[in-house]
Amino acid sequence: MNLLAISGSLRKGSFNTSILRALAKYAPEGANVQVAAPIDRVPHFNPDLDGDAPPASVVEWRAELRAADGIIVCSPEYARGVPGALKNAFDWTVSSGDLEGKPLALINASPNFTGASTAHASLREILGTMGAVLLDDSCLSVAGVRGKLDEDGNVIDEDTRASLRHVLETLSKEVVDAQQRNAAS
Ligand X SMILES: Cc1cc2nc3c(=O)[nH]c(=O)nc-3n(C[C@H](O)[C@H](O)[C@H](O)COP(=O)(O)O)c2cc1C
Binding residue for ligand X (CB under 6 A) from 3, 16, 103, 139?
Answer: 16
Q: What share of the chain is helix, strand, coil (3-state, %, to 5)?
A: 45, 15, 35
Looking at beta carbons only, is 3 or 116 nearer to ligand X?
Answer: 116
Asked if 20 is part of the footprint of ligand X (rule: CB under 6 A), the reply reads no
Dist. CA 159–CA 155, nearest whole Å? 10
| Binding residues for ligand X restricted to 65-94, rule: CB under 6 A | 76-80
Q: If binding is defined by CB under 6 A, does position 15 make contact with ligand X?
A: yes
28-36, 58-66, 91-99, 106-114 -> range binding ligand X (CB under 6 A): 106-114
Give how far Cα 152 sits from Cα of 15, 19, 45, 99, 101, Å: 10, 11, 34, 32, 35
**3 state DSSP class of 75:** strand
Helix or strand (DSSP H, E) at 109: strand 104-109
Q: Which of 3, 4, 9, 167 binds ligand X (CB under 6 A)?
A: 9
Nearest residue to ligand X on Cβ basis: 76
Give the residues lining the site for ligand X (CB under 6 A): 9, 11, 14-16, 76-80, 110-112, 114, 116
